[in-house]
């Protein structure tokens, strides 16, 4: 009869960030062990708090499934004598498989007669095999940092108790020197325990009775509901912070939310400063009014029952006031003088070893912003240049420098200090936006000036690092160049910016002392690096990898144009002539390998197929040029498809590599022009046709 399995490991408090991946690993490992061990079950649920990881598996079979299979033994001539008497080989083989010699069969395997036997592996009772399965599952869970015991076992924190129950019976197993018992532990301070269990059925109720909500999603929902209610009681609404919510969910077992208050004088500080002061160390939520301004309240999630909150409110208020006092001091010091006055202090701050100071970077950003703005013909170029001058100045302010809790506000504080110094709003916004996007899926700059400065800053960082040999390798990317390149690609694509990567890289190179002999390697390396990031972005958008590779091989520098070509090829991939066109373009490319290009002499094209191909090429070239100029890439691909028949006819009736030098040159020149026409759209040799094997 099937029974429910309860498996819990109790520990000292685990860091909140460790818990979600750990419980996912444990659940995956338990499921894997059960399936591999031929133990059927109905469903699996997980539970996790700072002091426990637990899994409940419902309807676990009472024994492993039987497995039947045939086993091949020794050759028949070795197993039986001429008179049919079994030899020692047959007797030993039968004994090893737990069968009688009479159960052995001789079969022709196609390579001779061999002894076979049909074997049934009978499953063991589940209570016998589960301890080793659960032990293996625990061994597979990994953490960023672990502790080790004399037993050789490793875990994130010391193990204090272990529960492994099938039905109402405790399974005999140990881990880290702790033996499994039919009892769990409640809230550390309010009802520690131990508390007896009868099995999985009463596990959650026993914990709730002892101030522990084991279900993380239930705790999260309870925190949200209580915080929203608390914010309403303060006359405002909750400032939602999902990352903070995820963290506090795994910091508490018995969540209660209470409101605290701080002096309204601190509301003169920028909104983000107050929120960071609440969140970074204290994990408080903010409360805002209808107009978006903050109210002088905070919401704290405590790991304690509601009846004990009054005693801790005052202490939390004192801690927050201390942090807000620090922030107010930094703000007052930083705003004594104009924000622009701080730029000169960047001369004493090294940007990267060997690449000068932040002041030198600032000068490069100003020049490059002007160039990028001109390439975009932007009316906001002047705004971007002024923002470039101030962009890094907040890094030397009291608020941001020296690794304080407000360091994460770089850019945000630049905006606030610029506004406090009466800089134009557009300049202040661009200072903030030049750090966008900060991570995958983050917002892009919303203004032209912000976009120009963000592109400029990323280009300068990438070129600078590549010129100094600081190039990402494998998983090593200490300067986040991949992230910066992806942000650059996203801004160009999502902003539909008509920019050449080549022009951008050349302009950025001029800001560095790169010797002429080194310029080209840096240029090619950076173009290739950005191209790889663009490839990843296109594939993530859902485009076929081979079409992406085909287009980027010939059209990598204009990313917007590349996307349009990829889209067009995707539209025609299933067209009747597409595979024929790909094959024809490959034949053209293959025959041109190792040949030099010559001018087409029309008079030398004597065959009708040659003249027909040249005429079709001329019409297609004019059509492609017109279609591309009108942003009609579907039309351009359609023009290329018209060459499928003329190319086939040419190869069917014309010997290209004739001994006549002039004739051979004319034919090769014709094919060269056909190849160049294809290259304006894509390198079709990269396209993988259905049924083809991909070459690694």
Between 413 and 554, residue with greater pLDDT: 413
What CATH number does residue 582 fall under? 1.10.730.10
Place of tokens 């009316």: 379
Average model confidence (pLDDT) across the chain: 89
Asked if residue 445 has pLDDT above 90, the reply is: yes
Q: What are phi and psi of 412, to 5 degrees?
A: -60, -45
Place of tokens 């087409």: 600
How many angstroms separate the CA atoms of 400 and 499, rounded? 34
Closest C-alpha to 689, from 537, 550, 516: 550
The sign of the torsion formed by the CA atoms of 552, 555, 556, 562 equals negative
Contact (CB, 8 A) for 642 and 620: yes
Tens-place pLDDT, residues 280-302:
878 999 999 999 999 999 999 99
Query: Band of the pLDDT at 67, cuts 50, 70, 90?
Result: confident
- Domain range for 632 is 576-686
Q: Is the residue at 559 inside a domain?
A: no
Residues 534, 646, single domain; the answer is no
pLDDT of residue 556: 85
Residues 469, 507, single domain; the answer is yes
Query: Band of the pLDDT at 691, cuts 50, 70, 90?
Result: low
Q: What is the end-to-end Cα distance of the chain in Å, rounded?
A: 52
Q: Is the residue at 560 inside a domain?
A: no
How many angstroms separate the CA atoms of 418 and 427, rounded? 8
Q: Is the residue at 602 inside a domain?
A: yes
Residues 292, 354, single domain; the answer is no
Query: Band of the pLDDT at 530, cuts 50, 70, 90?
Result: very high
Task: Give the pLDDT mean for 74-94.
Answer: 82
Asked if residue 688 has pLDDT above 70, the reply is: yes
pTM of the model: 0.78
How many angstroms separate the CA atoms of 207 and 187, rounded? 8
Residues 392, 484, single domain; the answer is yes
Task: Give the pLDDT mean for 60-75.
Answer: 82
Residues 529, 583, single domain; the answer is no
Residues 491, 603, single domain; the answer is no
Q: Is the residue at 306 inside a domain?
A: yes
User: Which of 334, 353, 371 corresponds to the end of one domain?
Assistant: 334
Task: Give the pLDDT mean for 355-377.
Answer: 95
Residues 35, 88, single domain; the answer is no
DSSP one-letter code for 690? T
Task: Give the pLDDT mean for 253-262.
Answer: 93
Q: Could you tell me the two tokens for 321?
A: 């006031």
Contact (CB, 8 A) for 39 and 60: yes
Q: Is the residue at 549 inside a domain?
A: no
Q: Is the residue at 558 inside a domain?
A: no
Contact (CB, 8 A) for 621 and 680: no
Tens-place pLDDT, residues 7-54:
999 999 999 999 999 999 999 999 999 998 888 999 999 999 999 999
β-pairing, 154-155 vs 147-148, is antiparallel
Residues 442, 480, single domain; the answer is yes
Q: Which residues contact 53 (CB under 8 A, 6 or more apart)?
A: 8, 9, 11, 19, 22, 23, 26, 46, 47, 141
pLDDT of residue 502: 93
Query: Band of the pLDDT at 617, cuts 50, 70, 90?
Result: confident
Query: Band of the pLDDT at 96, cuts 50, 70, 90?
Result: confident
DSSP 412-481: HHHHHHHHHTT--HHHHHHHHHTT---STTPPPPSSHHHHHHHHHHHHHHHHHHHHTT---BTTB-TT-H
How many angstroms separate the CA atoms of 486 and 539, rounded? 13
Q: Is the peptide bond before 111 cis (omega within 30 degrees of 0)?
A: no
Q: Could you tell me the two tokens for 358?
A: 């932040």
What CATH number does residue 450 fall under? 1.10.3210
Helix H or strand E encompassing 106: strand 105-108
Query: Band of the pLDDT at 207, cuts 50, 70, 90?
Result: very high
DSSP one-letter code for 500? -
Residues 356, 299, single domain; the answer is no
Q: Could you tell me the two tokens for 462?
A: 């990438």
pLDDT of residue 269: 95
pLDDT of residue 696: 43
pLDDT of residue 130: 92
Q: Is the residue at 379 inside a domain?
A: yes
How many angstroms separate the CA atoms of 92 and 85, rounded? 14
CB atoms within 10 A of CB 1: 6
Number of structural domains, the chain? 5
SS3 514: coil
How many angstroms separate the CA atoms of 265 and 417, rounded? 19
How many angstroms separate the CA atoms of 35 and 30, rounded? 9
How many angstroms separate the CA atoms of 217 and 215, rounded? 6
Alpha-carbon torsion, ordered 212, 218, 221, 222, to 10 deg: -30
Residues 305, 184, single domain; the answer is no
How many angstroms separate the CA atoms of 269 and 334, rounded? 12
Distance of CA 112 to the CA centre of its chain: 55
Residues 200, 231, single domain; the answer is no
Task: Give the pLDDT mean for 305-328.
Answer: 84
Least confident segment among 397-411, 419-433, 491-505: 397-411
Q: Is the residue at 326 inside a domain?
A: yes
Helix H or strand E encompassing 318: helix 310-334
CB atoms within 10 A of CB 90: 21
Asked if residue 518 has pLDDT above 70, the reply is: no
Query: Band of the pLDDT at 519, cuts 50, 70, 90?
Result: low
pLDDT of residue 567: 92
CB atoms within 10 A of CB 32: 14
Residues 136, 77, single domain; the answer is no
pLDDT of residue 234: 95
Place of tokens 């010997």: 655
Contact (CB, 8 A) for 625 and 618: no
Output b/e per residue, 136-169; b: 16+ Cβ within 10 A.
ebbeebebeeeeeeeeebbbbbebebbbbbbbee
Asked if residue 695 has pLDDT above 60, the reply is: no
């Amino acid at each position: 009869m099937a029974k429910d399995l309860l498996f819990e490991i109790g520990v000292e408090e685990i860091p909140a960030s460790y818990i979600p991946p750990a419980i996912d690993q444990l659940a995956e490992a338990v499921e894997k062990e059960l399936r591999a061990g031929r133990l059927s079950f109905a469903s699996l649920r997980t539970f996790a708090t700072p002091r426990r990881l637990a899994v409940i598996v419902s309807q676990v079979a009472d024994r492993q499934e039987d497995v039947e299979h045939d086993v091949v033994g020794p050759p028949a001539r070795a197993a039986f004598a001429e008179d049919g008497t079994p030899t020692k080989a047959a007797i030993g083989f039968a004994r090893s498989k737990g069968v009688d010699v009479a159960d052995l069969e001789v079969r022709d395997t196609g390579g001779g007669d061999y002894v076979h036997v049909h074997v049934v592996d009978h499953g063991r009772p589940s209570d016998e095999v589960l301890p080793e399965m659960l032990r293996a599952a625990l061994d597979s869970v990994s953490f960023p940092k672990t502790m080790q015991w004399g037993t050789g076992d490793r875990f994130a924190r010391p193990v204090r108790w272990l529960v492994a129950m099938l039905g109402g019976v405790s399974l005999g197993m140990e881990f880290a020197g702790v033996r499994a018992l039919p009892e769990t532990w409640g809230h550390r301070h309010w009802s520690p325990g131990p508390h007896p269990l009868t099995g999985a059925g009463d596990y959650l109720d026993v914990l709730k009775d002892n101030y522990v909500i084991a279900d993380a999603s239930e705790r999260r929902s309870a925190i949200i509901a209580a915080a929203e209610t608390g914010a309403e009681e303060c006359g405002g609404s909750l400032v939602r912070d999902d990352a903070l919510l995820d963290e506090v969910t795994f910091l508490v077992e018995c969540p209660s939310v209470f409101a605290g208050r701080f002096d309204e004088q601190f509301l003169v500080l920028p909104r983000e400063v107050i929120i960071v002061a609440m969140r970074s160390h204290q994990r408080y939520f903010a409360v805002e009014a209808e107009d978006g301004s903050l109210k002088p309240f905070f919401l704290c999630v405590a790991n304690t029952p509601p009846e004990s909150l009054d005693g801790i409110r005052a202490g939390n208020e004192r801690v927050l006031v201390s942090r807000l006092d620090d922030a107010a001091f930094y703000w007052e010091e930083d705003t004594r003088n104009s924000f622009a006055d701080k730029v000169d202090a960047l001369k004493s701050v090294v940007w990267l070893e060997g690449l000068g100071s932040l002041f030198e970077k600032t000068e490069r950003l100003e020049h490059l912003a002007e160039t990028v703005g001109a390439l975009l013909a932007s009316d906001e170029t002047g705004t971007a240049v002024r923002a470039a001058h101030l962009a890094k100045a907040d890094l030397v302010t009291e608020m941001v420098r020296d690794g304080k809790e407000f360091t994460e506000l770089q850019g945000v504080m630049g905006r606030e200090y610029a506004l406090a110094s009466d800089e134009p709003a557009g300049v202040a916004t661009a200072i903030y936006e030049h750090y966008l996007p900060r991570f995958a899926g983050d917002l892009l700059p919303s203004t032209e000036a912000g976009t120009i400065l963000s592109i400029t800053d990323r280009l300068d960082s990438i070129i600078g690092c590549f010129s100094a040999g600081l190039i990402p390798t494998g998983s090593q990317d200490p300067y986040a160049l991949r992230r910066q390149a992806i942000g650059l690609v996203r801004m160009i694509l999502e902003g539909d910016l008509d920019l050449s990567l080549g022009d951008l890289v050349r302009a950025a190179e001029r800001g560095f002392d790169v010797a002429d002999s080194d310029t080209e390697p840096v240029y090619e390396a950076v173009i290739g690096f950005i191209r790889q990031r663009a490839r990843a972005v296109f594939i993530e958008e859902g485009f076929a990898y081979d079409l992406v590779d085909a287009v980027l091989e010939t059209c990598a520098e204009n990313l917007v144009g590349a996307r349009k070509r990829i889209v067009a090829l995707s539209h025609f991939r299933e067209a009747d002539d597409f595979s024929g066109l790909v094959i024809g373009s490959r034949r053209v490319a293959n025959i041109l390998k190792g040949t030099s290009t010559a001018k087409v002499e029309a008079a030398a094209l004597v065959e009708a197929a040659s003249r027909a191909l040249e005429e079709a090429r001329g019409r297609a070239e004019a059509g492609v040029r017109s279609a591309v100029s009108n942003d009609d890439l579907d039309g351009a691909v359609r023009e290329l498809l018209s060459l499928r028949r003329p190319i086939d006819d040419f190869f069917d009736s014309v010997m290209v590599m004739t001994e006549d030098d002039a004739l051979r040159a004319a034919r090769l020149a014709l094919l060269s022009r056909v190849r160049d026409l294809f290259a304006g759209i894509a390198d079709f040799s990269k396209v993988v046709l259905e049924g083809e094997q991909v070459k690694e």
